Amino acid sequence: MAVTLEEAPWLGWILVKALLRFAFMVANNLVAILSYVCYVIVLQPLRLLDSKRFWYIEGIMYKWLLGMVASWGWYAGYTVMEWGEDIKAVSKDEAVMLVNHQATGDVCTLMMCLQDKGLVVAQMMWLMDHIFKYTNFGIVSLIHGDFFIRQGKSHRDQQLLLLKKHLENNYRSRDRKWIVLFPEGGFLRKRRETSQAFAKKNNLPFLTHVTLPRIGATNIILSALVARQENGRPAGGDTKELESKSKGLQWIIDTTIAYPKAEPIDIQTWILGYRKPTVTHVHYRIFPIKDVPLETDGLSNWLYQRFIEKEELLSHFYETGAFPLPKGHKEAVSREMTLSNVWIFLIQSFAFLSGYMWYNIIQYFYHCLF
């Protein structure tokens, strides 16, 4: 499409702004990730002496890193409107977020909207595609204990065994509370056709705005983390031991992300900021774990039903621009999520000052050795 004379200055400004944002993002990543890794290395003695305190400090730094990523979208005008139940009420409990997946921007959106939910981000574990292991953020996620899952039938059984082992070794030992899971197993545009063919073959609902979820990872997580009961009491151990143990997974948070006109934001847009300011809408529903069937068939049906409801939520949103009214309410209530500019300035300042400090320390030792 030809560019008119009137559009040329605007397009030129968009290009200059994108280049400036990209340069800042590269610098931000270099200083922040390098500083994070250096702090983690220096704090290794604390990990041996007081593991819980070490992972608390690591979690705070992890939250700050995700806050920096959130700020890239915030200053481009990409904001979040929250709907449904207030998830702050369960921020101190163990929970699993089940999220629909449309694009890479979904992850950035969650990084933003969970920043004001206490220590949730610091104590969170992500399940993400293995390709993210090879991105700039991969080293941070590896240290933090996120799980990278490889897609495909040939890897499925092995990956589920690895996930079970990963949860046993890293979830409670690192004081994790929330897990973020995308049960569809891929982006909507990539999985929709396959999902619809599977639905037709198995007499399941025909979905357009979401795909049918895969059960494996959800089943493993619930099996590993839900506290089993015997005669109304947690199974195993004496009274003192039981009191010190985690209460186990208590909530499932059904999370539905909706973009205006069904046009999702990708990570390139989040970084470069070339798209006009837009509001992403996130809807929450909280289910007590006691209401969720744990046997495979029951869980499959329960999970399918949640995604059928997501389809209805999204259809309503794309038709009206708002999510439907909760039962018993006369009007839908939305909450605008905000980030503190002062807080962003402080964590960015800390990152750049830390980067400068570690650069000088590394340079000093290099000159001493060589």
Per-domain residue ranges for the chain? 6-369
Nearest to 103 by CA among 85, 122, 78: 78
Question: Residue holding tokens 């897609």?
Answer: 151
Range in 286-295, 327-336, 355-364 with the lowest mean pLDDT: 327-336
pLDDT value at position 229? 44
User: What is the value of pTM for the model shown?
Assistant: 0.89
Confidence band of 29 (pLDDT split at 50, 70, 90): very high
Query: In the predicted model, is pLDDT for residue 152 greater than 80?
Result: no
- The amino acid sitting at 334 is S
Classify strands 124-129 and 147-149 as parallel, antiparallel or unpaired: parallel
Instruction: Return the structure tokens found at 9.
Output: 């200055």
Query: Is residue 36 packed enough to be buried (19+ CB in 10 Å), middle (13-18) or exposed (0-12)?
Result: buried
Instruction: Return the structure tokens found at 178.
Output: 């929330």
Confidence band of 31 (pLDDT split at 50, 70, 90): very high
Three-state SS annotation for the chain: CCCCCCCHHHHHHHHHHHHHHHHHHHHHHHHHHHHHHHHHHHCHHHHHHCHHHHHHHHHHHHHHHHHHHHHHHHCCCEEEEEEECCHHHHCCCEEEEEECCCCCHHHHHHHHHCCCCCCCCCCEEEEEEHHHHHCCCHHHHHHHCCEEECCCHHHHHHHHHHHHHHHHHHCCCCCCCEEEECCCCCCHHHHHHHHHHHHHHCCCCCCCCCCCCCCHHHHHHHHHHCCCEECCEECCCCHHHHHHCCCCEEEEEEEEEECHHHCCCCHHHHHHCCCCCEEEEEEEEEEEHHHCCCCHHHHHHHHHHHHHHHHHHHHHHHHHCCCCCCCCCCCCCEEEECCCHHHHHHHHHHHHHHHHHHHHHHHHHHHHHC
Query: In the predicted model, is pLDDT for residue 355 greater than 90?
Result: yes
Integer Cα distance of 193 and 272 in angstroms = 30
pLDDT value at position 3? 56
In contact, 207 and 196? CB cutoff 8 Å: yes
What angle separates helix 51-74 from helix 8-42, to the nearest 10 degrees? Answer: 170
Task: Report the percentage of the chain scoring pLDDT > 70.
Answer: 91
Instruction: Return the structure tokens found at 253.
Output: 């948070």
pLDDT value at position 132? 79
pLDDT value at position 58? 97
Query: In the predicted model, is pLDDT for residue 240 greater than 70?
Result: no
Confidence band of 150 (pLDDT split at 50, 70, 90): confident
pLDDT value at position 237? 40
Instruction: Name 288's bridge partners.
Output: 251
Query: Which segment, 41-45, 86-90, 366-370, is predicted with the most confidence on average?
Result: 41-45
- How high does pLDDT run on average in the chain? 88
Question: Residue holding tokens 């909706």?
Answer: 258
Q: What is the pLDDT of residues 163-206, one digit of tens each?
A: 999 999 999 999 999 999 999 988 888 889 989 999 999 889 99
From the CB of residue 46, how many other CB atoms can be counted at a distance below 10 Å? 14
Instruction: Return the structure tokens found at 105.
Output: 């921007």
Instruction: Return the structure tokens found at 130.
Output: 């293995």
Task: Report the percentage of the chain scoring pLDDT > 90.
Answer: 72
Integer Cα distance of 105 and 269 in angstroms = 8
Residues 266, 272, 275, CA angle at the centre, nearest 5°?
Answer: 65
pLDDT value at position 30? 94
Confidence band of 9 (pLDDT split at 50, 70, 90): confident
